[in-house]
Structure formats: C-alpha cells, structure tokens
C-alpha cells in the first residue's frame, strides 16, 4: 500500500495537471480568436499533453490500488493582452508545477514510497524540458516585440508542432 500522504499529494497533482490542461486550453482559444492559429495549435497540443500527465498519475494510483479523488478544477484566466503575455503565463505555470513536483517528490521520498519516487522521476525530467521550451518561446517573443512580420513568423513556427510529438511523449512516459 502506498502511504496515504503520498496518495493525497498525487491526487492534488492530478488536479494541478488538469488545471494546467484547462489553462492551456483557455490560452489556445484566445489565440485562435485573435487568428494566431499556429500558437493556438501549439497550445491545444500542450493542453492535451497536460491531460496525459494527469492520466499517467491517475494510472499509477490505479495500478497501486489507491483511492482516486477528483477535485473541482478552477476556471482559468481567459483574457490576455498579447502572445507574449500568453506564453509568459504559460512559463509561470510551468515553474509553479516544477515546484509542486519537487514537493511531491520530497514527500514520496521521505515517506519511503519508492515506487512513487520512480514514477515521479519522469515528471522531474519532463519539467526541465517544459521550462526550457517555455523560456525559449518567451525569449523569442520578447526579442521580436511588436514587429508584425516576426510575430507572424513565430506563429507559423509554433504551428509546425505535430500531434505525433505529443503521442511520442506520452509513449515515452509509459
């Protein structure tokens, strides 16, 4: 049996991953309405990726025969001022999730829940990648400022993200 404190912490993390998914969906919708269809596509895929993170934790709890508690998901921010604003918020969200994963890992470790520790290692690595990607996109938007052709270029670049990439990530996480 997995320690109850660890089970509760994983349940909280499931909520947090679903909140992140919801929040990226809000960002995607805003971008689509502004006709930034590339960014909208990137963010929709990111939303799906966060959903898969939640499923990975959920499946872990189920595999360990632990109780699942699905809490209400808070409504995300729907209004943004620019693509830079969107991706800055996305990065801030990733940084927050990294802190949560660190705390969760510490809880699992101190409770000697070693199967959970092994499972959470994947999330530690994933957060390094998520923050790196987020920082790169934010840096590019800061650099191009309000130059419309460059913004459109970036939108096109973001739109090149493929669904297969997400599928491969999910598979790697199995």
**Nearer CB in complex with Fe ion: 50/155:** 50
Cβ partners under 8 Å of residue 73, min gap 6: 15, 18, 19, 22
Residue 173 to residue 167: CA distance in whole angstroms: 10
Kindly state the DSSP code that residue 9 receives in the 8-state scheme: H
Residue 21 to residue 7: CA distance in whole angstroms: 21
53 binds Fe ion (CB under 5 A): yes
**Nearer CB in complex with Fe ion: 152/168:** 168
φ, ψ of residue 113 in degrees (nearest 5): -90, 80
Nearest to 151 by CA among 92, 83, 104, 94: 83
- Sort 30 into a burial class: Cβ within 10 Å, 0-12 / 13-18 / 19+: buried
44 binds Fe ion (CB under 5 A): no
Residue 121 to residue 107: CA distance in whole angstroms: 13
Mark the segment that binds Fe ion (CB under 5 A) among 1-9, 14-22, 112-120, 136-144. 14-22
Residues 84-143 touching Fe ion, rule: CB under 5 A, are 130
**Nearer CB in complex with Fe ion: 46/151:** 46
**Nearer CB in complex with Fe ion: 85/169:** 169
| Closest approach of Fe ion to the CB of residue 139, in Å | 18
Mark the segment that binds Fe ion (CB under 5 A) among 15-23, 68-76, 98-106, 136-144. 15-23
Cβ partners under 8 Å of residue 124, min gap 6: 101, 102, 105
Mark the segment that binds Fe ion (CB under 5 A) among 27-35, 42-50, 63-71, 152-160. 42-50
Size of the site for Fe ion (CB under 5 A): 4
Mark the segment that binds Fe ion (CB under 5 A) among 2-10, 47-55, 104-112, 160-168. 47-55
**Nearer CB in complex with Fe ion: 17/155:** 17
**Contact positions vs Fe ion (CB under 5 A):** 17, 50, 53, 130
């Amino acid at each position: 049996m997995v320690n109850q404190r660890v089970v509760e912490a994983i349940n909280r993390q499931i909520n947090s991953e679903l909140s992140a998914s919801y929040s990226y969906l809000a960002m995607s919708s805003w971008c689509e309405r502004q006709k930034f269809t590339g960014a909208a596509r990137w963010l929709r895929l990111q939303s799906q990726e966060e959903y898969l993170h939640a499923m990975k934790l959920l499946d872990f709890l189920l595999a360990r025969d632990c109780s699942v508690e699905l809490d209400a998901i808070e409504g995300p921010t729907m209004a943004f001022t620019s693509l830079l604003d969107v991706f800055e918020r996305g990065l801030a969200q990733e940084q927050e999730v990294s802190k949560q994963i660190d705390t969760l890992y510490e809880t699992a470790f101190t409770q000697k829940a070693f199967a959970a520790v092994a499972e959470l290692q994947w999330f530690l690595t994933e957060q390094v990648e998520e923050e790196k990607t987020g920082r790169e996109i934010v840096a590019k938007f800061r650099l191009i400022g309000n130059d419309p052709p460059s913004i459109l270029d970036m939108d096109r670049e973001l739109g090149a993200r493929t669904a297969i990439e997400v599928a491969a990530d999910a598979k790697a996480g199995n």
